[in-house]
Chain A
């Protein structure tokens, strides 16, 4: 399960809408206890793809990842996962999402339809990399 507050989800929605028709991306910081990931902060990041590519893909580079690891350590947080948008597509992972994912992370996807954020769903890749399973999302008020 992933627990995230409404303000963080709204922040992700706004990022997705302001990036449309490109994909947005960012990291989810927080703590993990057993099977529950509790998001304490989101870290918006630039999509390193540009032009037409950015409409179908997002990229957080190795340098960005190093920055995230250092930042998480400074904050005493864990990198719980990442979010990105699917412009004019469902909030379901694509084959490309699966090829690029790591099972340790949660992947939150927000569907954006004609510039307006719609569904949000959270996914975790199974260890054998064959498929994602959908995570229960607990939205808190604070």
Chain B
């Protein structure tokens, strides 16, 4: 059950400069666990200390935001494309 994960340029330096990786996973949660398990720096940039996804990181499954699917429990099937996209934000407060 292999899915393709598209890595944004902002995070490639933490994953050997790859723009795509293939991961076997049944849910988004499992995919994220596997993605960061061997890349500590990627984990630090994508996840909070509590293990939650940082607010500015967006995950899409076949172009659909997981917030409008089943979030981390969104099921994956072979051939799905998962895209990671950061939003950019900040400000004085």
Mark A residues whose CB is within 8 Å of B: 23, 25, 49, 56-62, 64-66, 69, 72, 78-79, 82, 84, 86-87, 89, 93-94, 96-97, 99-105, 107, 127-129
Q: Say what secondary structure dominates the interface of chain B.
A: mixed
- A84 — which chain B residues lie within 8 A by C-beta? 90-91
Q: Say what secondary structure dominates the interface of chain A.
A: mixed
Please tell me if the beta carbons of B85 and A87 are within 8 angstroms of each other in the complex: no
Mark B residues whose CB is within 8 Å of A: 8-11, 13, 41, 44-45, 55-56, 58, 85-93
Please tell me if the beta carbons of B10 and A23 are within 8 angstroms of each other in the complex: no
Please tell me if the beta carbons of A96 and B93 are within 8 angstroms of each other in the complex: yes
Kindly identify which residue among B8, B85, B90, B92 contacts A101, using a CB–CB cutoff of 8 Å: B90
- B87 — which chain A residues lie within 8 A by C-beta? 59-62, 64-65
Kindly identify which residue among B8, B11, B85, B90 contacts A94, using a CB–CB cutoff of 8 Å: B90
Please tell me if the beta carbons of A66 and B85 are within 8 angstroms of each other in the complex: yes
Given contacts A25-B88, A78-B9, A96-B91, 18 further A-B pairs with CB under 8 A are A58-B90, A65-B87, A65-B88, A66-B85, A69-B9, A79-B9, A79-B10, A84-B91, A94-B93, A97-B90, A100-B56, A100-B88, A100-B90, A104-B9, A104-B10, A105-B10, A107-B90, A127-B44
